[in-house]
Amino acid sequence: MSRAIVLAAGKGTRMKSAQPKVLHDLCGRPMLWYVLEALRATGIDEILVVCNAELEPLLAPFGVRCVVQTPQRGTGHAVQVALAALEPRDETVVVAYGDMPLVDATIFEDVQATVDADAGTALGLVTARMPLPSSFGRVVRNEATVKKIVEFRDATTAERAIEEMNAGIYAFDERALRAVIGQLTDKNAQGELYLTDTVSLLVAASYRVVPVLAVDYRLVLGVNDRAELATACATMNERLCREHMRNGVTIVDPATTYLEPEVIIGADSIVRPNTSIGGASVLGERTRIGPNARLYNARLGDDVIVTESVVLDSAIGARSRVGPFAHLRGGNELGSDVHIGDFVEVKNSRLANGVKANHHAYLGDATIGENTNIGAGTITCNYDGVNKNATTIGRDVFIGSNSSLVAPVTIGDGASTGAGTVVIRDVAAGDRVVGNPARSIGAKKAAT
């Protein structure tokens, strides 16, 4: 098992933000989350984040140790602070920057695989060929090994012409790193302790430093400002869409489909344009989502259809249809074969199999039995100005158009309300009520 140090103490000034850079959102997760996930995926069991005082209290949700670096005297200083906080071990330690969310586990694996202290390789570092101009540190090679890294601001014109960059991902033999880390100086253009100077120090101590060329330079670009954040978001989103398409999901337009990392979509589902699916959403097979849909923490059974609608924190059973223009606001459990039509809002409600509310309705804090039909314009008046009250409607009930159900109220199985009824008292099973306030006109006579 190996350890990793993630550097995130820098100010991130170019974001022009009150929020620490590594916590900025990228496809529904903080940037730092991706770095930690990728490291953990390679079997790294302990991660130490070097942070500043503002970031420290915000790191609790990430389940990592952190150490505060003040003042921030450069990346080399950050690693000195980290090593001082870590019990020395005789193994590989990965060092990465917290603002590189697109780096995947493969890159971390490849770089770790190069370190072999017994064979004299004390450091593997990721490099990338990228178009100039670039302000990345330049990799000065000695054929197959690295001789030194020169920071852009310290580089000569000839060095600035080098197209191989230091990506900022390192796997060190910890013992060798500890042996040289104290020798860093700040005699450079930025007056900082550069982590990159460990390269020439290790080479001087007769170690080998091996470059690992990244296949795609865009994955190591990092995020320094909001424009780069948008570019990174697009790349990540493209990656997420591609994974789902490989798994048998049709995404009509990946450029306008916005996914988050832990979303699950069943095979043969179709996602139409301008749709976002996020949180812990789990969609069954053959679902049809969009266009213009927003799903967050949505659990959908097989063959569910959601068009032009919003579904938040809700479960929807198989073959149900939602939309166009419906809003499932949260806390809903819908059975199978439920129909929610246009301009229907549902909140904190349980709708059994086969319930239909096809037009213009508000169902809040309601429990509705099987095959009940909710007419257009029905309102559960769940709020009396102080409390939220429940409405319970039985099975096979017919709620007439424009009914107001003043909660708390219960309507029994098989009952019905006429158009425009205002129900202020419970309605018995099988009874028919009309008017304002509702009065009984007696149960429907059985057909003779």
Binding part of the chain for ligand UD1, among 4-12, 296-304, 339-347, 423-431 by CB under 6 A, reads 4-12
**Partner residues linked to 221 by β-bridges:** none
7 binds ligand UD1 (CB under 6 A): yes
In the bound state with ligand UD1, the residue whose beta carbon lies nearer, of 69 and 392, is 69
Name residues contacting ligand UD1, limited to 143-182 (CB under 6 A): 149, 151, 165-166, 168
359 is catalytic: yes
Q: Write the CB contacts of 420 (distance below 8 Å, at least 6 apart in sequence).
A: 400, 401, 402, 403, 435, 436
**Partner residues linked to 148 by β-bridges:** 140
- Partner whose footprint covers residue 7, from Ca ion, ligand UD1, none (CB < 5 to 8 Å by kind): ligand UD1
CA distance 237 to 62: 22
In the bound state with ligand UD1, the residue whose beta carbon lies nearer, of 28 and 74, is 74
- Active-site entry in 244, 339, 359, 360: 359
Binding part of the chain for ligand UD1, among 68-76, 112-120, 298-306, 419-427 by CB under 6 A, reads 68-76
Can you count the helices (H) and strands (E) in the chain? 7, 38
DSSP for residue 189: T
What DSSP letter does each residue of 360-423 carry, written as one string? EEEEESEEE-TT-EEPTT-EEE-B-SS-B--EEE-TT-EEPTT-EEESSEEE-TT-EE-TT-EE
328 binds ligand UD1 (CB under 6 A): no
Angle subtended at Cα 308 by Cα 306 and Cα 310, rounded to the nearest 5 degrees: 75
In the bound state with ligand UD1, the residue whose beta carbon lies nearer, of 115 and 139, is 139
Binding part of the chain for Ca ion, among 21-29, 214-222, 242-250, 261-269 by CB under 5 A, reads 214-222
50 binds ligand UD1 (CB under 6 A): yes
- Partner whose footprint covers residue 98, from ligand UD1, Ca ion, none (CB < 5 to 8 Å by kind): ligand UD1
SS3 content of the chain, % helix, strand, coil (to 5): 20, 35, 45
Grouping H, G, I as helix, E, B as strand and the rest as coil, residue 111 is helix
Question: Binder to ligand UD1 among 62, 97, 108, 398 (CB under 6 A)?
Answer: 97
Binding part of the chain for ligand UD1, among 7-15, 156-164, 306-314, 408-416 by CB under 6 A, reads 7-15
* Beta carbon of residue 6, minimum distance to ligand UD1 (angstroms, whole number): 8
* Beta carbon of residue 191, minimum distance to ligand UD1 (angstroms, whole number): 11
Encode burial over 250-288: b for 16+ CB neighbours within 10 A, e otherwise: ebeebebbbbbbebebbeebebbebbbbbeebbbbbbbb
Q: Write the CB contacts of 54 (distance below 8 Å, at least 6 apart in sequence).
A: 20
8 binds ligand UD1 (CB under 6 A): yes
Catalytic (active-site) positions: 359
Chain residues in the site for Ca ion (CB under 5 A): 222
Chain residues in the site for ligand UD1 (CB under 6 A): 7-10, 50, 69, 72-75, 77-78, 97-99, 136-137, 149, 151, 165-166, 168, 194-196, 222
